[in-house]
Amino acid sequence: MTTGNIKFLFDGPEDAELTVVLAHGAGVPMDAPFMNTFAEGIANAGHRVARFEFPYMQRQRSEGKRFPPSPAPVLVERYLAVVGALGGGRGLVIGGKSLGGRIATLIANQVQAKGVVCLGYPFHPPEKPENVRIEYLKNIEAPTLILQGAEDPFGAPEEVAEYGLPDNVKITWLDGGDHHLATPEDSDISDEQNWAEGATAIAEFATGLSQSSQPDLNAEPVDSSPPD
């Protein structure tokens, strides 16, 4: 489905109470096996899932060669347009893989998202733990679930434990998982099993949000324009 210049992939029932929006990571498209497994698992639990691509990934798909991610303001603008096209943040759990999840955290308060999910959050570049990207996480208002591999070089358990994240930000650690939540070759758990476990955690998180409260019909409209 295409809305404006945004092409969506939808899974799950159209009449679901919540839609989970998943943005891709820096180097993989919206229909990569990782993304497919998560979308299918969440949809099978009764939630609608919407996937989209940032402009640089759309160009990569059409021209058949790799491009680096666009600057953050461009990515933010696209994610805001996605939220607007889907009817606003109050009925959405927004998030994504790595870069996609981080961009979701940048806009979550502005769009008043129902919740946020991050798959392999890039807390810092590998081997540069001093460059921590947690400012928006510390101020995020929506319930937030982060699925993180216990072996992720972008944020290890002992590092993240020291960040002082707020109580509404929960982290689920997947044993043996790397930044892609993939397992080592000698593991008894396959990548797909790890991803399915993560999808189940997101589905349960979304179900809890849908049962927690009813929308405020008297609330002010949400501003979906790019931030200054």
Between 22 and 2, whose confidence is greater?
22
pLDDT at residue 186 in the model:
81
Place of tokens 């955690």: 201
- Mean pLDDT, range 75-81, rounded to an integer: 97
Place of tokens 């937030």: 144
Residue 113 CA to residue 141 CA, distance in Å, equals 9
CA proximity to 168, closest of 205, 199, 129: 205
Q: Among 43-52, 133-142, 178-187, 205-214, which stretch is predicted with the lowest mean pLDDT? A: 205-214
Identify the three-state secondary structure at position 183.
coil
Taking only the tens place, the pLDDT of each residue in 138-178 is 999 999 999 999 999 999 899 999 999 999 999 999 888 88
Split at pLDDT 50, 70, 90, the class of 2 is low
pLDDT at residue 4 in the model:
65
222: pLDDT strictly greater than 50: no
Ordered by where they begin, the domains of the chain are 2-212 (3.40.50.1820)
Taking only the tens place, the pLDDT of each residue in 101-125 is 999 999 999 999 999 999 999 999 9
- Mean pLDDT, range 5-33, rounded to an integer: 95
Split at pLDDT 50, 70, 90, the class of 182 is confident
What is the chain's mean pLDDT, rounded?
Answer: 90
Q: How far is it between the farthest Cα atoms of the chain?
A: 55
Residue 86 CA to residue 219 CA, distance in Å, equals 18
* C-alpha torsion angle, residues 120, 114, 168, 76 (rounded to 10): 50
227: pLDDT strictly greater than 70: no
Q: Is the pTM of this model over 0.85?
A: yes
Residue 14 CA to residue 57 CA, distance in Å, equals 26
Percent of the chain topping pLDDT 90: 75
